[in-house]
Amino acid sequence: MFRRHLPRPLPGASDFVNLIDIGNYFYFPEASPIRTQVAIIGGGPSGLLLSQLLHLAGIDSVVLERKSRDYVLSRIRAGVLEQGSVGLLEKAQVAKRLHAEGQIHTGTYLAAQNRGFRIDFDALIGAQVTVYGQTEVTRDLYDARAAMSGQIFHNVDGVELHDLDTGKPFLTYHLDGSAQRLDCDFIAGCDGFHGVSRKSIPAGILKEFERVFPFGWLGVLSKTPPVSDELIYANNARGFALCSMRSKTLSRYYIQVPQDDPLEKWSDQAFWDELKRRIPEDAAERLVIGPSIEKSIAPLRSFVAEPMRWGALFLVGDAAHIVPPTGAKGLNLAFSDVHYLHTALIAHYDGQSAALDAYSQTALARVWKAVRFSWWMTGKMHRFPDQTPFDQRIQEAELTYLENSVAAQRMLAENYVGLPY
């Protein structure tokens, strides 16, 4: 039958078949397996970055993505990049637009009721973060992969993982309605929280740790100038609020809402009215409102799966762990996994397998620190339905301590800008 792919041998690797050329149809027998070194499930930010870094190191990969490119790029998610993430994107040769358009933030504001104070990352620890949307990071990665003839298949259905513990793993899937097989040395499970990879680890091996928070975040993206030059995390008796941004003309705001609040309940006007009630008065007076261009509710949870390796399968990013967005750790954590995995794979193909064997342990050590920080910051900034007056006073005392203690501020700063790899 006719397929959209051109099988062609990689230079110097005649046993690999490279599937590219999305624009034209070429004859390709349905049953012929293709082969790569690293099969990557999921074309979100972690899968794309891994594929790009491996390519630059001369390691072949194929990315299988369930959705279309446009769909992946329509998801509005993270906005804050740690220094380590920026360094990785530089290494991946995809940081040009990030440096031109991203905003350097040397601090952030915390507000408790109507009182605000600033955590000065630069003065405290000589560090900063970059505000640049996950959508833009993903677009830059797609462009770079396309420029290097990267192999990314979209709209792939029914991916299944096989023979993970035999040394000859492979994937099966459907593309354009026909069955396909991909043989590989390793599989990177970069398929997010709802993907198939984690579920392929036997139940007796996999341990899951979870804390579901009893609220969600209602997020709005609007073409309005941001209310503040830096982010404002606001603790308020009515619930948490966050003022963030994507650029000088694009704002991103969030408010804490009950876990099961229907989105229809929140007209744009209702959202703006509630946001204004929760942020400090001077910010509420400055706030420019406009129609939402995206509005969604995200649940909040902490989740970690252990181990992050099973045989030939390596879990990366949201496939292995979820953090609540307070503290902006999710994407950054996915990228630190990519850091550990791509360096370990490079070492493996150079004959050194110790780092690959240690991947799960190494990645999890950093994961748990970020899980702790996001859990801590979520606990400090939100109203819990069962919060007692005692809990309330403790929360207030924590925020006052943070306002007045350089040691406490350093703890927040070093975690927020990202712990070292």
- The angle that helices 359-381 and 389-404 make with each other, rounded to 10 degrees, is 110
Site track 248-267 with ligand PHB (rule: CB under 6 A), x = hit = ----x---------------
Residue range at the interface with ligand RFL (CB under 6 A); choices 178-186, 192-200, 205-213, 281-289: 192-200
Instruction: From residue 353, give the alpha-carbon distance in Å to each of 201, 307, 337.
Output: 21, 18, 17
Handedness of CA 15, 21, 27, 32 (dihedral sign): positive
How many CB atoms neighbour CB 238 within 10 A?
A: 13
Q: Which residue among 36, 327, 341, 359 contacts ligand PHB (CB under 6 A)?
A: 327
Which helix (H) or strand (E) element contains residue 412?
A: helix 406-416
**Over the range 54-92, which residues count as b (16 or more CB within 10 Å of their CB) and which as e?**
bbeeebbbbbbbbbebeebeeebbbbbbbbbbbbbbeeb
Residue range at the interface with ligand RFL (CB under 6 A); choices 24-32, 40-48, 382-390, 401-409: 40-48
Residue with CB nearest ligand PHB? 79
Q: Tell me how far apart the alpha carbons of residues 383 and 258 are, in angstroms, rounded to a whole number.
A: 10
| Residues facing 303 on adjacent strands | 210, 322
Instruction: From residue 83, give the alpha-carbon distance in Å to each of 59, 102, 129.
Output: 26, 12, 6
State yes or no: residue 328 binds ligand RFL (CB under 6 A).
yes
Q: Which residue among 102, 307, 311, 317 contacts ligand RFL (CB under 6 A)?
A: 317
CB-nearer residue toward ligand RFL: 323 or 356: 323
233 catalytic per annotation: yes
416 catalytic per annotation: yes
CB-nearer residue toward ligand PHB: 246 or 366: 246
Residue range at the interface with ligand RFL (CB under 6 A); choices 24-32, 74-82, 351-359, 381-389: 74-82
**Shortest distance in whole angstroms from residue 400 CB to ligand PHB:** 22
Looking at 279-329, list the stretches that DSSP marks H as alpha helix, in order from N- to C-terminal side: 281-286
Q: Which residue among 42, 44, 47, 79 contacts ligand PHB (CB under 6 A)?
A: 79
248 catalytic per annotation: no
Residue 138: closest CA among 68, 235, 214:
68
**Shortest distance in whole angstroms from residue 404 CB to ligand RFL:** 27
Order of strands, edge to edge, in the sheet holding 151-153? Answer: 151-153, 61-64, 38-41, 186-189, 313-315, 309-310
Q: Which residue among 52, 228, 326, 332 contacts ligand PHB (CB under 6 A)?
A: 326
CB-nearer residue toward ligand RFL: 226 or 317: 317
Looking at 291-388, list the stretches that DSSP marks H as alpha helix, in order from N- to C-terminal side: 330-349, 354-357, 359-381
CB-nearer residue toward ligand RFL: 280 or 330: 330
Contact 233, 109 (CB under 8 A): yes
State yes or no: residue 222 binds ligand PHB (CB under 6 A).
no
Most distant pair of Cα atoms in the chain: their distance: 70
Residue 297: closest CA among 329, 252, 254, 268:
254
Site track 201-240 with ligand RFL (rule: CB under 6 A), x = hit = ----------------x-x---------------------
Q: Which residue among 34, 59, 62, 80 contacts ligand PHB (CB under 6 A)?
A: 80
- Given 105, 342, 380, 382, the catalytic residue: 105
- Given 109, 173, 233, 254, the catalytic residue: 233
Contacts for 420 with CB less than 8 Å, ≥ 6 apart:
84
Contact set with ligand RFL (CB under 6 A): 41-47, 64-67, 72, 77-80, 134, 156, 159, 190-192, 194-196, 217, 219, 298, 317-318, 325, 328-332, 334
Contact set with ligand PHB (CB under 6 A): 78-80, 231, 244, 252, 325-328
